Structure formats: structure tokens, C-alpha cells
Amino acid sequence: MVNKYDVPSMWTKQMGAVVAKSTELAADAYDTSAGLAEMRAGYLKERKFWNEGGPQPARVREDQVPTPYGEVMVRTYYPVDADALPCIVYIHGGGFVLGNPDTHDRITRVLADRTGAAVVSVDYTLAPEGRHPQALEECVAVVEHLRANADRWGIVADDVSLAGDSGGAFLSLATFLHLRDVKGSAERFRCLLLFYGFFGLRDSMSWRLLGGTWDGLTQDDFNYFLNMFFADPEQIWDPSVDLLSHDLTCDVPPCYIAAADLDPLRDDSRCLAAILTHAGQPHRFEEFKGVIHAFLHNSRMLDEANDALEHAATFYREQANQPDPATEWR
């Protein structure tokens, strides 16, 4: 697409170093032309470096949770040993075709450490093995199962939040809306933590001006992900995908919304924040300057990644007047 910004000339020095490191680790991690198997292998290889270091939880457990499509694995990070902790269900990104709890391990460990919550990372079925709405309905089933079996999980059933990045931010908001509008169970969510999500815009200024090989979000790349995700291209018009078409003027938990100003998906977050602002719904919107999509992974080298995680954790704690955990990892 013509008229694109020269994004490499606009990103921060740290962001440039991150992109160079990611290219060195696995140049094909975001190359949709390389083939799905090669892209998944590159993504796992690249994420291994970014997941090194960071805080260690008191314990971690893996379990299988029943869903309408069979069992899915969830990994729970407990920052401390306690009878019951508040719970954050974390839904990873990766364009719906990449990723798992391993690729987002450091993010979830940091969130557990800084929020004091048990963080449950969902290994939902990727596309094209499972097409929409399978991943959404699996995530809904996980939330319902956790609440129904809170004692077994050591969590507080009435203190659950949803969090996710990119496609995981989409699935987080979609899971809440499905529970609210289809299941009638909107109560008992502390908040939503949404990092640079796709929320349903089919065109925007940020899509026209941003995106490239450095973030795997050219228009061709985005079409590739959507074609993998949908069994029918017309599903993009479905309310379960066009999340901004839902009634967001009431009964929405407090939302922390983080955007990257050099991200093609930036305007999805801006639009969501504008709707919530107009409706007087509680939220906090931050746009991090000079960084690209998926920057949250890069907390080993990128100040903005650490800031976004810290600000999200602060927002989370504020919703329950919860003190800052007395842990230090940096």
C-alpha cells in the first residue's frame, strides 16, 4: 500500500534495537509468506529470548479445562502461597495463529508479580485448526469453569479480570461481551487490561499509514491472519467480531487500554477509548510513543514495555484499593 509512513525513522532507539534483535533471532517470525509451520517455529524461537529473566512465581500449575470443543490447557501463576487470590485470565496474542502460554510467559509472570493476582494463561486452539468462534467459546468456558471451581483453583470467584494483547485483547473483550450479552453474567469482573487489540475496525488512518515487515502487519499479513481465523470472510461483519458495535455505554468493567502509536491497530484502541470516554465509563487510555505492535514482550530491553505492565498493574490494584505487592524484580 502506498503512502505509508517511514516507521523505522520514527521509532525510539530502544525500539530499533529490539527490532534488530528480533530479526537476528528469527527473521521469519512474522513472515506470512514463509508458511505456517516455519512462522510458528520462528515465533517460538524469537519469544524464548524475550521470556528470559523476570520475577518467579511461588508456584505454577497446569491443568486441563473442559470446553465445548474438548479440553484446553491452562497454566496458573501464583505470586504467593495463599488460600485464595484474585484472578486474572490472560489470553495471549499472535494473530490467532501463533503463540501459547510459553510465548507470553514473562508477561504473565510480571503481571502476577505486580498485581498480586493468580494469572491463568489460556492455551486456546489456534487457527486454522480451530476457526472463529472456537477460541472465543473456549475462553468463555475457561472463565465459567474457574468461577465454578474457585476453591480448587485457589481463587476468589467474585474477583476475576480479563487481560490480553493483540488478538488476545480482542478475545478478552469478546469474552466479556459474550458473558454479558449471551450468558447474562456481566457482574463480578474487576477490570479488563487490553494491550493494543484488534476490536473490529475494518479501515482506519493507522491502518493506512502504519505497518510493515518489522511487525508482520502489512495489509497482506492482516488478511492472512483473518483468512486463517474465519471459516467465512463474511464473519468479519458479525457482532462477535465487530466489538465496537456492542453497547459499551453501560455495564462495562473498568478498562486499561494501551496502544502503540506506530501500530496499525492503534486506532482500534483509540476508538474504544473514545466510546468509553463519551459514555462516561471508567477507563484509562495510554498511547506509548515511538513503539510498534507487540512491544509488551520486550521488557528486557524496552522501557515502554515495563511502563505498560506497571501501569496496567497499578490500574488493576486501584480498582480494589489494593496495596502494591512488596516484591522487587528489576
Instruction: Note the pLDDT tens digit of each residue in 66-106.
Output: 999 999 999 999 999 999 999 999 999 999 999 999 999 99
The answer to whether the CB of 87 falls within 8 A of the CB of 118 is yes
All three cell numbers of 96 = 490467532
Q: Which tens digit of pLDDT belongs to each residue from 167-197?
A: 999 999 999 999 999 998 877 899 999 999 9
Helical residues (DSSP H) of the chain, grouped into ranges: 13-25, 36-50, 105-115, 134-148, 150-153, 167-181, 205-209, 219-229, 266-279, 303-318
Q: Give the pTM.
A: 0.96
C-alpha cell at 227: 483468512
Q: Give yes or no for residue 46 having a pLDDT over 70.
A: yes
Round the average pLDDT of the chain to a whole number and report it.
Answer: 94
| pLDDT band per the 50, 70, 90 thresholds, residue 2 | confident
Catalytic residue at 263?
A: yes
For position 127, what pLDDT does the model report?
97
Rounded mean pLDDT of 262-266? 98
In the chain, what percentage of residues exceed pLDDT 90?
Answer: 86
| Percent with pLDDT over 70 in the chain | 98
pLDDT at residue number 323: 80
pLDDT-based confidence at 325, cuts 50/70/90?
A: confident
Structural domain boundaries of the chain? 7-317
Residue 166 falls in the annotated catalytic set? yes
pLDDT of amino acid 244: 97
Active-site choice (92, 104, 132, 293) = 293
User: Among 105, 113, 159, 263, which one carries the catalytic annotation?
Assistant: 263
| pLDDT-derived band at 254, boundaries 50, 70, 90 | very high
* pLDDT confidence tier of residue 330, bands split at 50, 70 and 90: very low
Cell numbers 502487519: residue? 217
- What is the reported pLDDT for 189? 94
Q: What is the pLDDT of residue 317?
A: 97
**Residue tagged active-site, from 121, 161, 166, 299:** 166
* DSSP H/E element including 44: helix 36-50
CATH number, domain 7-317: 3.40.50.1820
- Binned at pLDDT 50, 70 and 90, residue 329 comes out as very low
Q: Is 293 labeled as catalytic in the residue annotation?
A: yes
Residue whose entry in the numeric block shows the C-alpha cell 477490570? 191
How many CB atoms are closer than 10 A to CB 267? 21
Kindly report the CA angle at 257 between 51 and 176, in degrees rounded to 5? 95
Is residue 93 within 8 A of residue 294, CB to CB? The reply is: yes
